[in-house]
Amino acid sequence: MAIGSAFAAHARAVAVVDVHGNGPDWTAIERLLKEWKPDGLVVGDPLTLDGQDQPNRKRAQGFARQLRERFKLPVVMIDERSSSVEAARRFAVERAEGRKRRRDAAALDAVAAAVIIDRWLSSPDDATPIPDCPTPP
């Protein structure tokens, strides 16, 4: 998980939220949302390198819809292609500068989340909004 600011036009890694066999750690997500009070949420859209669907995409879309339903916040999806590669590059730079240690590598997913938010901050029109949830009758 990462946070970003349109004012600062920058994102930073905050935490790694565990995913168990039955889904994400909703308690941890809720705690982080209460702490950071975001105006909206960004979810990575896992596409293949040539822009096609891949199996994880349906899960990511389902997760985005669940976030929208549970927390009543705007949710968008943004292309996450090569975000892990960029996260590894950022981590290597910070490690070389002495700002990160090898043990911090477990937080690489949070750095990838920051990469995804940075992409959204620089190109918000490229995001796919998750529509409002239908209200049950």
Q: How much is the pLDDT for 51? A: 85
CATH number of 115's domain = 3.30.420.140
Q: What is the mean pLDDT of the chain?
A: 87
Show the beta-strand stretches assigned E in the chain: 2-5, 10-13, 19-20, 23-24, 41-45, 75-79, 128-129
Does 21 map to a domain? yes
Note the residue count of the chain: 137
As for how many domains the chain has, the answer is: 1
Range of the domain at 51: 2-129
- 134 domain-assigned: no
pTM above 0.85, yes or no: no
Each residue of 30-78: pLDDT tens digit?
999 999 999 999 999 998 888 888 889 999 999 999 999 999 999 999 9
* Token digits of residue 34: 């209460």
Tell me: pLDDT of 137 over 50: no
